[in-house]
């Protein structure tokens, strides 16, 4: 069985954002999605470092897609979550969900 990585808090947000954005999962969009959802500023440095790390662990992959002319021919990176990545985020999410069960009253509406 493949090794399942534990995901950090920010890493979870990144993976979830990529899953949600699907065909539009480019780095700037990922950052904006997290900022909107988490309601806090996200530094580009942190995001790019996390993307690198997750990619190195094999949890993310990307493929080039054409971008606008200002990019001078450099493609945009469209990220997607690998099978290992999906397993990791499922596990993290399950842990959170298990622990949160029964606490709905104190945690309030999740939305």
Contact footprint for another protein (CB under 8 A): 26-28, 43-46, 48-49, 51-52, 67-68, 70-72, 74-77
Burial degree of 7 (CB within 10 A; 0-12, 13-18, 19+) = buried
User: Which residue lies nearer to another protein by CB, 30 or 92?
Assistant: 30
* β-bridge partners, 62: 79
Q: Which is nearer to another protein, 54 or 92 (CB)?
A: 54
Closest approach of another protein to the CB of residue 61, in Å? 13
Residue with smaller CB distance to another protein, 28 or 38: 28
Report yes or no: 91 and 4 within 8 Å, Cβ to Cβ. Answer: yes
What's 52-85 look like in SS3? Answer: HHHHHCCCEEEEEECCCHHHCCCCEEEEEECHHH
Residue 81 vs 92, nearer CB to another protein:
81
Could you tell me the smallest distance in angstroms from the CB atom of residue 5 to another protein? 19
> Do 7 and 18 meet the contact criterion of CB atoms below 8 Å apart?
no
Shortest distance, position 40 Cβ to another protein, whole Å: 16
């Amino acid at each position: 069985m493949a090794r399942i990585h534990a995901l950090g808090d920010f890493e979870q947000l990144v993976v979830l954002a990529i899953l949600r954005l699907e065909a539009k999962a480019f780095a700037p969009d990922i950052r904006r999605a997290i900022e909107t959802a988490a309601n806090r500023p996200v530094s580009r440095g942190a995001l790019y470092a996390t993307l690198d790390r997750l990619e190195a662990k094999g949890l993310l992959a990307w493929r080039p897609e054409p971008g606008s002319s200002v990019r001078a021919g450099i493609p945009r990176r469209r990220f997607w979550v690998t099978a290992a990545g999906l397993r990791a985020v499922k596990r993290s999410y399950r842990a959170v969900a298990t622990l949160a069960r029964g606490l709905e009253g104190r945690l309030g509406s999740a939305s």
